[in-house]
């Protein structure tokens, strides 16, 4: 499942839904890993984040990487839910869950998908704060993290 939403969501409910779908899928799953990204307030420096996507293109690009991760890590399934629009500090920006037969593949695939989403997926992120607004571009660390999987 890949989805973009402009509405706040409950990551716990998403994880429950993902696990329930796996239980009904037939393939035996022994491990589910998940990641929840939350907007930081940066001690008052960030009052809101604004996430822009390219509808249609963004989901398709994520889909290509997620399908490759399915075979690379032998996943039983995945879920990626990403916010777009204005996001307040403390709200969830992204939820990623991966399922596999054993834990290592689920952990690694989740890590890999998050590294991809941070610096290579088609999103553009603007930080709003008391000092104005600025477009956030991937840090050297983000780029190095994503390159670990090349």
Partner 1 sequence: MQVLLFGRLSDIAGWREKRFDPAPPRLSALKALIASEDRTLGEALDGAGVRAAVDKALVRGDVALLAGCEVAFLPPMSGG
Task: Please report, as ranges, the residues that interact with partner 1 according to CB under 8 A.
Answer: 37, 51-52, 54, 56-57, 60, 82, 93-94, 114, 117-126, 135-138, 142
| Residue number, 79 or 94, with CB nearest to partner 1 | 94
State the sign of the Cα–Cα–Cα–Cα dihedral 119, 53, 66, 103: positive
Q: What minimum distance in Å lies between the beta carbon of 90 and partner 1? A: 16
Q: What minimum distance in Å lies between the beta carbon of 58 and partner 1? A: 9
Alpha carbon of residue 47 to chain centroid: 21
| Residue number, 54 or 147, with CB nearest to partner 1 | 54
| Residue number, 10 or 137, with CB nearest to partner 1 | 137
Greatest alpha-carbon pair distance for the chain in Å reads: 53
Q: What minimum distance in Å lies between the beta carbon of 128 and partner 1? A: 13
User: Do residues 44 and 111 touch, judged by C-beta distance below 8 A?
Assistant: no
Which contiguous run of DSSP H or E holds residue 73? helix 57-73
């Amino acid at each position: 499942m890949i989805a973009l939403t402009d509405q706040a969501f409950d990551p716990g409910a998403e994880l429950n839904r993902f696990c329930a779908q796996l239980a009904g899928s037939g393939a035996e799953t022994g491990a589910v890993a998940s990641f929840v990204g939350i907007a930081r307030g940066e001690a008052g420096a960030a009052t809101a984040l604004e996430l822009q996507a390219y509808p249609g293109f963004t989901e398709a690009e994520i889909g290509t990487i997620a399908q490759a991760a399915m075979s690379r890590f032998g996943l039983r399934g995945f879920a990626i839910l990403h916010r777009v629009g204005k996001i307040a500090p403390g709200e969830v920006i992204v939820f990623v869950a991966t399922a596999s037969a054993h834990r290592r593949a689920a952990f690694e695939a989740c890590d890999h998908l998050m590294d991809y989403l941070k610096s290579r997926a088609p999103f553009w992120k603007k930080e709003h704060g008391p000092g104005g607004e600025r477009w956030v571009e991937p840090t050297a660390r983000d780029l190095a993290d994503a390159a670990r999987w090349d």
